[in-house]
A and B are shown apart, each in its own frame.
Chain A
Amino acid sequence: MMRRLPWGAIAGVGLIALLALVAPWLGLANPVAMDVPHRLAGPSGAHWLGQDEFGRDVFARLVWGARVSLTVAAAAAALACVAGTALGVTGGFLRGVVELLALRAIDVLLCFPPLLLALLVVTLLGPGAATLIPVLALVYLPGFTRVAYAGVLTARSQDYVEAMRVLGAGRTRIMLRTILPNIGGPVLVQVSLAMASAVVLESGLSFLGLGVVPPSPSWGLMIGAARATMTQAPLLLLWPCLALTLTILAMNALCDGLRDAVDPHPAYRPARWRLLDSLAPGLLPAERAVLDVRGLTVEIDTPSGPIHPVRDLSLQVFPGETLAVVGESGSGKSVTSLAITGLLPGAGRVTAGAAWLDGTDLLRLPEERKRRLRGGAMAMVFQDPGSSLNPVHRVGAQIEEAIRAHRKMSGGRAAAAAITLLRRVGIPDPARRARAYPHELSGGMRQRVMIAIAIANHPRLLIADEPTTALDVTIQAQVLDLLADLKRESGLALLFITHSLPVVAEIADRVAVMYAGEIVEMGPTAEVFAGPAHPYTAALLRSAPVEDGPPPVGIPGVVPPPTALPTGCIFAPRCDRRLAECDAAHPALRPAGHGRVTRCIRVPA
């Protein structure tokens, strides 16, 4: 598979390199031939960019200077890259003594200011291009070692590295074939940085008289010389600076492009700009429901065009009720919760529908009012309690903050309220635990803290997105019991999003089964599970292992990608009860008795 190479940047760097390479055959003026009578002459037909303080042709010196500057920079960067990466990879992968020697030596090098280090070596070895290359390589070596070392530490803990060990691969093979390609990206970026900065440092050292020896042309020498005559001929300063800037820009673009090109993942392209969302007017809210979602449709921009991960979704959650939204990955269940809470990522937006929370349409609220609702009347609990809590604040303080963001309360009273909440969610010794940091608590405890924050302001609606997925079964049972208690006592409406059918059976009064972006069946949990009306629900139930039941049976095929949905029933391609009519038209949700709805034409209306 050929990937898109950064042709523009390749052409830019190639042109500069080519100019430098073929300089002797370009028929340029002699870059060291003086013409003192015409010193500091401006641009003319014979001298396109004018003449310098000795009357030498500036264009010729620029091109010849590129030869020296670029050779030094490229050779130094390449040398530093090879040596530095080798040190970093061996140090990071082999650990132990090698790591200690390589990394400490590099740390010592890093302690010297680079210019001072370069000055020291040049003073010892004498100026000249040949000395400059190893000097600059030495200056940039630590950067490569550090980048490679950090990359290796990340890569070596990956399962695919462990997999190579399981296969019996030797260390050299793992380092060269597995680790090296995976740290290639950052190392390439480092090459571009080192090369660009080597050109600058070469200029600086030459300017100080420690690099390229006059009269040989180099960009640094030219800048140095032009500085003296800056008032008489400011253009002389401009040309080498311009050449330097363009070269560095081209190199950075090339390295960025190469990094993307060697990455087998498709590149992300930014979302297209939309000035206005076409919002369709919603229907009137039904009575009583705490949350009433009607015809919700979400659009997300992706590299391959807009997709609709949720289409025409309607559901209601009543006070004291738990509605579970269950589905597999790609079903759109989490996108639904993000759309309702107004937390869709930047590339996503609601294109149709309405979501009323106690009569307020959440989807059309200004951001400021939405923010006040979140954590107030509408609270959320997410899957990963570890990343939802701020690691640098005590959990008690985080609960207090949640309270005081919505209510005026003195610090002392908020602290007392936080402890009461911690006790309420079943945390033993709440006064002491309030002073703990999140990392001092177990996963189950952290999820209890998240629930305490969620119920701090007596929400009407609690949206829980896979709240027990990261927890062990004995802890999961405790948290599910806690949620059921809270719902019973406070009458809040619970929208519970999960992939686990047994969890749904344990906690939900009603269940909405989602498949590829739409609800295919909804109704009271016990009835839906006892006699599923939609073939997908039935297949899903058959694939869940039951301890004392028949062996689980999977569903053949995969969920259709949102870019290629079937025109008829979207489950038809995987359905074992498919009819010819199933492909004809997309079925609507139809009533199936006892407050149930299903999206299957085989169910009698």
Chain B
Amino acid sequence: MTALVTASGLSKHFPHGGLFARGRAVQAVNDVSLAVARGETLGLVGESGSGKSTVGRLLLGLLPPTAGTVSFEGTDLAGAGAGTLRALRRRMQLVFQDPYGSLDPRRRVGAQIGDALSIHGLLPRAGRAGRVAALLEQVGLDGGHAARYPHQFSGGQRQRIGIARALASGPDFLVADEPVSALDVSVQAQVLALLADLRARLGLAMLFISHDLPVVRHLCDRVAVMYLGRIMEEGPVATLFAAPLHPYTQALLSAAPSLHPERRKTRLLLQGEPPSPADPPSGCVFRTRCPIAVPACAERVPVLRGEGHRIACDRV
């Protein structure tokens, strides 16, 4: 499979403090390399502050990276001119987490879905209404609902509208940032099924950002686990979930509440809390909470090694 979107050595540091306060930069993302192929879904999991949403924004070119490159079909986003970038915008889209905040409350949903068509001049004005109705039907809503306002829909329906808006420009790459975590579980399953169906029908490459491991397991082909801005482990969903190698992945899987707690063999409960990304530990960032850490872990940053199933730990 050839990659559609490739990130290599991606870092993003946000300057801390005001104009005169020279604080330490928040290291949201550090040295992240990953690739997503057409028709493939890469799950990106991690806890809050792990930098997973920032990676999504970097891949879409919405944030300039501090270091590293993002390329879309071989075109470097940083080197692309305004015109090229604008054309690329059409081909990569974002689905938001919050179905309430991501739709403009004062405009009809049809107009918001149609924005992509008019911005990129994809259809003459006369054809847009029909296309908007078709998009609404594609995500399982009534085509006649285009004239309604966002507040007239339920959370699940709004999320479908958000997906329709992302699909309007005919993208090849979709970043879904926690698209179901604000939804009820019975609605969650419907939206996940919709995403899986669209991916299959449209051949979308998808980055699925989530903190919900079972959801990732069902939807994704591969998964990357992030902690404090770095990828700890990455591999095919089946092998990574069945036999996690990195101690953080093991802890994460064992901490997730389960419908069948009696089946869990060992419960690995992490102590303490993640350190601040403004002041990450030296060496391996996970070592302060790691059950198998040794003094040498503070010395050097472990590199992500391996083929297919990669892991960033020198102790395994």
Contacts and interface: CB of A to CB of B under 8 A. Distances in A.
A234 interface: no
A71 B89 CA distance: 48
A526 B90 CA distance: 50
Given A167-B115, A555-B186, A159 B156 contact: no
A443 B89 CA distance: 36
B175 to A, nearest CB: 9
A264 B186 contact: no
A168 B273 contact: no
B273 A502 contact: no
A165 B62 contact: yes
B269 A264 contact: no
A502 B212 CA distance: 12
A182 B116 CA distance: 20
A501 B106 CA distance: 36
B211 interface: yes
A181 B112 CA distance: 14
Given A158-B101, A474-B47, A545 B165 contact: no
A513 to B, nearest CB: 12
B105 interface: yes
Interface residues of A, number: 65
B102 A505 contact: no
A276 B147 CA distance: 43
Contacts of B221: none
A473 B116 CA distance: 37
A168 B192 contact: no
Contacts of A472: 47-48, 211
Contacts of B252: 473-474
A355 B173 CA distance: 54
B185 A543 contact: yes
A544 B259 contact: yes
Contacts of B217: 545, 547
A562 to B, nearest CB: 14
A499 interface: yes
Interface in A133-184: 158-160, 162-170, 173, 177-178, 181-182, 184
B214 A160 contact: no
B98 interface: yes
A501 B255 CA distance: 15
B106 A545 contact: no
Interface in A554-605: 554-556, 558
A266 B187 CA distance: 25
A542 B185 CA distance: 10
A442 B274 CA distance: 9
Contacts of B30: none
Interface in B134-189: 147, 149, 151, 154-156, 162, 165-166, 168-169, 184-189
A459 to B, nearest CB: 25
B261 to A, nearest CB: 5
B115 A540 contact: no
A160 B102 contact: yes
Interface in A461-478: 472-478
B96 interface: yes
B213 interface: yes
A540 B185 contact: yes
Contacts of A502: 256-259
Given A159-B96, A264-B149, A502-B258, A545 B218 contact: yes
Interface in A324-358: 328-329
A556 B190 CA distance: 8
A603 B197 CA distance: 36
B260 A167 contact: no
B186 A539 contact: yes
B73 interface: no
Contacts of A178: 104, 107
B255 A328 contact: no
Interface string B296-309: 00000000000000
Interface string B184-204: 111111111100000000000
Contacts, number: 191
A480 B274 CA distance: 18
Contacts of A158: 101-102
Contact of A182 (B106, B155, B258): B106
Interface in B211-237: 211-215, 217-218
Contacts of A474: 47, 251-252, 255, 269-270
A265 interface: yes
Contact of B186 (A184, A262, A328, A428): A328
B214 A547 contact: yes
Contact of B47 (A264, A473, A501): A473
**Among A162, A499, A540, residue most surrounded by chain B Cβ atoms (within 10 Å):** A162
Chain A interface main SS type: helix
Contacts of A552: 185, 188-189, 192, 218
A445 B193 CA distance: 36
Given A182-B106, A547-B213, A477 B119 contact: no
B243 to A, nearest CB: 13
A107 interface: no
Interface string A247-265: 0000000000000001111
Interface in B264-279: 267, 269-270, 272-273
Nearest to B156: A558
A237 interface: no
B259 A168 contact: no
A159 B106 contact: no
A329 B185 CA distance: 10
A544 B96 contact: no
Contacts of A160: 101-105, 112
Contacts of A477: 255-257, 267, 269-270
B151 to A, nearest CB: 5
B102 A329 contact: no
Contacts of B107: 177-178, 181
Interface in B73-93: 86, 89-90, 93
B195 to A, nearest CB: 12
Contact of B115 (A164, A476, A529): A164
B209 interface: no
A558 B103 CA distance: 21
Contact of B189 (A1, A263, A475, A543): A543
B94 interface: yes
Contact of A329 (B48, B155, B269): B155
> Chain A CB within 10 Å — which of B90, B189, B191, B257 has the most?
B257
- Pick the most buried of A266, A529, A543: most chain B CB atoms within 10 A of its CB: A543
B106 A264 contact: yes
B273 A163 contact: no
A527 interface: no
A553 interface: yes
Nearest to A179: B104
- List 5 tightest A-B contacts by C-beta distance, closest first: A168-B89, A554-B190, A554-B189, A502-B257, A159-B102
21 contacts: A159-B102, A163-B96, A163-B162, A167-B169, A168-B116, A170-B119, A181-B106, A264-B151, A265-B151, A473-B211, A477-B267, A477-B270, A502-B256, A505-B258, A505-B261, A544-B259, A545-B214, A545-B217, A554-B186, A554-B190, A555-B186
Given A163-B162, A328-B184, A547-B256, 5 more contacts: A163-B94, A167-B165, A168-B86, A184-B106, A444-B273
Interface of A: 1, 158-160, 162-170, 173, 177-178, 181-182, 184, 262-266, 328-329, 428, 442-445, 472-478, 480-481, 499-503, 505-506, 526, 529, 539-547, 551-556, 558
